[in-house]
Each structure stands twice: as C-alpha cells, then as structure tokens.
Amino acid sequence: MRRGFRTFRLVVTSALFLALSACGGGGGGGGSASPPPAPPPPPPPPAGKTLSGVVMLGPVSGADVEISGTGGVLGAGTTGADGSFGPIEYSLSYDGPLRVTVTGNPTSQWVCDFRLGCDVSGATAPYGASIPFDGELEAVLPAAVDEDFVSVSMLSSFVAERMDVLGGLSTANIDLADNDIRQMIDSAIGDVLDDYTAGLPFDFSRVELFDLENLPARGGPNDSLSILLSLFNSAIMGMSDESDTTGQFIDSLSNKVATQPMIPLASPTESFFEPSQESFLLSLLVQASETNSDTAAAVQVDALLAPLSLLDVVTSAFNSYEAMPQFIVGDESTFQVNISFGDVDLGRPKNVALPIRTNTGAPIEPIDFRIATDFVEPTTVQWADVTPGSFGLNDTRIVIQLDPDVVATLPNGTHVVVIEAYSIFGTFRRDFVEANLEVDLTGQ
C-alpha cells in the first residue's frame, strides 16, 4: 500500500449579487433603494486532523486501531486486508504526542513475510501463511501533525515500549526512546543501512513499510530505506519461539529491548534468539539471502534499492557478520567432525578434542563460554558428554567424550550432534560444529 496525499476539502462561499440601480423619474421624486445584499453563509467548521498508516509484520488485517493523546482516546479505526488504516480523524486543536495502539481480536490475522517461515504456537507457519493476530503493536509520534502517516511494526513497538520505561507518553520521552532504538538498530545493521542512507532518520516510524508480497513500483521518497526496514521488520518475526503465540513473542521481545536497548554483541544465553547484534543481523542476512534466491521477488526489490541491489545487501550483511568478534570451533574451515566407533572401541572411553579460539586473537578460557548440544538424528539419545577443557596455557578445547555403553545400543549408521559454543559475557558471536558419529559394530 502506497499512501497518497489526502484530498483537500473545498470551502464554497456564496457570491454577492450586485444591487440593481433604478433610474429616478422626473419632477423631484426619487426611486426606491435597492435591497441589501444577502449575508454570506457561515464558514464550515474546521476539519479535524487525520492520521493514516499501515500495520506490518507482514500485513496485519482486521485489527483494532486506537489513537490516543495525553488526555485519552482521540479516534479509532480498523486495518484493511493490506494492513492499512485511516485516515482517522481527531481533534484539530490537539497538537501533543500521539500513541497508536493496534490490538488483535478473534478475526484479525497477519501474514508471515519471513522466508523461512514463522514459529508460532507450537508449529512453523510457512512463508505467506495467515496467522491469528492475538497481540498488540504500538507506535508513538512526538507531535500531532495533520495528514500524518505512521508504520506500526515491531520496530515502532520497540520505541513505544522504551518510551513507557522512560516514564510514559510525552514528547521528551518519545525523542529519547526514538534515539535509543535508532542506536540499537544501528549497532546491529548499521553497516547495511549506511550503504543506502545516512543513518535512520528521527521519527523513523513515519517511514512507510511495505508488504513484501505486494511491493509497489519505485517512486516514493524513501524507497530504499522502506524496503530495507521492511526486510528487517519481517526478519525479526523469524526469531519467534515456536512455543509462543504471536502476542507473547511481541510482548517478550519488545519488553527485553525496551529494558535494555544497548543490546550485547551476542546473546549470553543458550538461546540464539535473544535480542543481540548477532541475532538481528543474521536474521536480516537470512531474509535478504532467501529473498534474493527468488528471482521474481529480487527483481522487484532491486528496483526499489537501485542503483544498488539485494545482492549488495546480502554481501554487506555477510561481511558485517563475518567481521564480528567470534569464537572459532575446530579449524577455521571446519563445519563437521567425523568420529568412528567400531568393535575395538567397546568398553573403553573415546575422546575427541576440538580447539576453540577467537578471531581477534584474544585468549579464551573454559570459564568464558558455555556449550549447548543438540542430538538431532536419527535419535535424540545423548551418546556423548561435551564439555570445555583446558590443555595448557592458551590451549582451550571442546572435549567430546563418548559413552561406550550408550553408543553400543545405537544402530549402525551415522548419528549427529550439533555443538554450539557461546560467550557467557555476550562479547563473541557463537560458533558451532557438527559431529558425525559413524557406528559400525558387528551384529548390529
């Protein structure tokens, strides 16, 4: 949906009739005076101010929209099938800050615009699927301006939640919150944005976000920024936890960002999807890369990004990701390690030690990181313990210690565990390696 300018109301005034002059007769008599002109009609009452907008995760349809100011509710509306709303009219005399609240109801839905699908309520909804919208999104504007526009999204909700942390609806708090969230976004994807714009503008919630399935033709004043923020906003929805509803995810992520907008370089927990520079940047990288692999979609996006292209976005995001301080598990080019287990290995421990280091040269000790494991196929049985180990000065390794008793019960074939090392201080992005156990036992 591309908004246009609202049509001006025409004010029509009545023309005054010219008085007709009568000619006087002879002999001292005079003609009668012309009737006075009719008074003009009173001017129409002044029109109210209006606000239009769009609600985007993908497009959010059938949701309730409420505009409020410092004194309470000013106006209301509903989102259409494309996520648009308004124009919603409110008092011409109000010029203070505005809060726009979009609330789900039993019939409202949103469309998954993340290319790899959106994890919601215990299942993964595929790209393009409609999902019940049970949440609340917000946007705030520092001052009421007539014929204004706002994009309500995850990004604008970050600003609104941060404003509430700072003390509630006021122009000063909105300005501070907007600055905090702009700095947060810049810390995560600033290198990508810098290729297209001189940084996020103040009040970036006024930048129109696009439905990635129905992109407009080029011609808007901020097309490049609009499509970049649209890709980023939809990519954030790819960070949802499968067990959460949409509303639970929105509330959880918005509250975390609002409480601590100075996000760490990497999540200091096992969950990759906690807000961090790494998780936001990688989500954008995946979204841009997957979109670029769809030729028809890439052509449309490239038209909005011209003279640069979606491939330039992918390259810039990848280079930023690679430049982050990071752990390196195994050799730099190692993505998997192969372990064999045959009859000779029964009844005795078998260990494999993988080196772990940093790409900055900073020393790393076992206390600096934690390990997460995911035994994925063909069975989830834990057949090894994976722990940090120190083998001397500046020689830290990840030790895979096989459990022979458990391995002996596994069927012959390949068994896979994904090993992930993450910084408990959030100062290095995580790395992972896949360990493939090849079981070859007589009689199995």
Higher pLDDT, 24 or 261: 261
Separation CA 346–CA 226 (nearest Å):
60
Q: Are 194 and 187 in contact (CB under 8 A)?
A: no
Q: How confident is the model at residue 44 (pLDDT cuts 50, 70, 90)?
A: low
Q: Determine the pLDDT at residue 331.
A: 75
Separation CA 157–CA 165 (nearest Å):
12
Q: How confident is the model at residue 441 (pLDDT cuts 50, 70, 90)?
A: confident
Q: Determine the pLDDT at residue 2.
A: 32
Q: Are 394 and 371 in contact (CB under 8 A)?
A: no
Higher pLDDT, 221 or 204: 204
List of E strands, 115-201: 118-120, 123-125, 130-132, 136-141, 148-152
Q: Determine the pLDDT at residue 214.
A: 93
Percent of the chain with pLDDT over 70: 90
Supply the DSSP symbol for 172: H
Q: Determine the pLDDT at residue 378.
A: 85
Model confidence pLDDT, tens digit, residues 342-354: 888 887 888 899 9
Q: Determine the pLDDT at residue 334.
A: 61
Q: Determine the pLDDT at residue 288.
A: 96
Separation CA 204–CA 151 (nearest Å):
9
The pair of structure tokens assigned to 401 is 């210690």
Question: Token pair 């690679």 is at which residue?
Answer: 322
- Residue 183 CA, chain-centre distance (Å), reads 15
Model confidence pLDDT, tens digit, residues 307-331: 999 999 999 999 999 999 999 998 7
Q: Which helix (H) or strand (E) covers residue 321, if one does?
A: helix 310-323
Q: Determine the pLDDT at residue 34.
A: 66
Question: Token pair 């839905």 is at which residue?
Answer: 109
**Using omega within 30 degrees of 0 as the cis cutoff, is the peptide bond preceding 132 cis?**
no
220 exposure class (CB count in 10 Å sphere: 0-12, 13-18, 19+): middle
Q: Determine the pLDDT at residue 348.
A: 80
Model confidence pLDDT, tens digit, residues 159-183: 999 999 999 999 999 999 999 999 9
Amino acid at 345: D
Q: Which of 31-35, 64-68, 375-379, 410-414 has the lowest mean pLDDT?
A: 31-35
Supply the DSSP symbol for 244: S
Bridge partners of 171, per DSSP, are none
Which domains are delineated in the chain?
A: 49-323 (no CATH), 328-440 (2.60.40.10)
**Residue whose C-alpha is closest to residue 155's, from 261, 13, 52, 74:** 261
| Average pLDDT over the chain, rounded to an integer | 87
Q: Are 177 and 168 in contact (CB under 8 A)?
A: no
Q: Determine the pLDDT at residue 198.
A: 60
Separation CA 434–CA 444 (nearest Å):
24
Question: Which positions ≥6 away from 13 have C-beta within 8 Å?
Answer: 40, 41, 43
Residue 20 scores a pLDDT above 70: no
Q: How confident is the model at residue 19 (pLDDT cuts 50, 70, 90)?
A: very low
Q: Determine the pLDDT at residue 4.
A: 28
Separation CA 182–CA 164 (nearest Å):
16
